[in-house]
Amino acid sequence: MKLKLMAAACACVVLAACNAPAPPAAPAAPASVAAPASVAAPATVAAAPPAKTAEIPTLSLATIDGKHFDLASHRGRWVVVNFWATWCGPCLKEMPALSALDTMREYIDVVGLAYEDTTPEAMKAFLAKHPVSYPVALVDVYSPPKDFESPAGLPTTYLIAPDGKVAKRFLGPVEARDIETAIAAAGGPKPGAQGG
């Protein structure tokens, strides 16, 4: 029980750093899942995927535009899975860079997972004012995607390699060059490459 309370308190502190109210707390993780030892500063790159994130995660959900996103159908491409929220300033700041990556790099696909308690109508209105080129889906904060760790802070971004494995996890805002550098380090195209 103490571990669960520590994990919830840690998540609240990180979410408060965005100067906005935290979404409702997600159900506590089972006692067998360890709480993070520390909270990383923005733009810190985790050395390995967190223990709860599946090595080859699945993700299949409806998007705000009425379509469907299935991570498995993007095999052979690099996929950026970005957990964010409308009230998170750093999240909003990185959206144009993610949109540019999705548009300009043929070998990169981006999906935004809005991690907040809101309605599809409110999200559509928000995206009308802050358009992006990539699909966005609402994530139930009480039941986030089972193959990904519940975000300890926002934004949290996962880079999925063409083989479907998690190549890198970023905690905090990312720039296009951070993602392209991580792709190059994992054997993908070098920064600035157009094809794929």
| Domain limits, the chain | 2-26+38-185
Render each residue's pLDDT in the chain as its tens digit; 196 residues. 443 334 444 444 344 445 444 444 444 433 333 333 333 334 444 444 444 788 999 999 999 999 999 999 999 999 999 999 999 999 999 999 999 999 999 999 999 999 999 999 999 999 999 999 999 999 999 999 999 999 999 999 999 999 999 999 999 999 999 999 999 999 999 886 555 4
Q: Are 17 and 40 in contact (CB under 8 A)?
A: no
Q: Is 33 exposed, middle or buried (0-12, 13-18, 19+ CB in 10 A)?
A: middle
Residues 6+ apart with CB under 8 A from 101: 80, 108, 110, 176, 179, 180
Top-tier CATH class for 2-26+38-185 = alpha beta
- Single pTM value for the model: 0.74
DSSP state of 107: T
Tell me the DSSP string of 136-177. Answer: EEEE-TTS--TTSPPPSSSSEEEEEPTTS-EEEEEES---HH
In the structure encoding, which two tokens stand for residue 10, read together?
């840690």
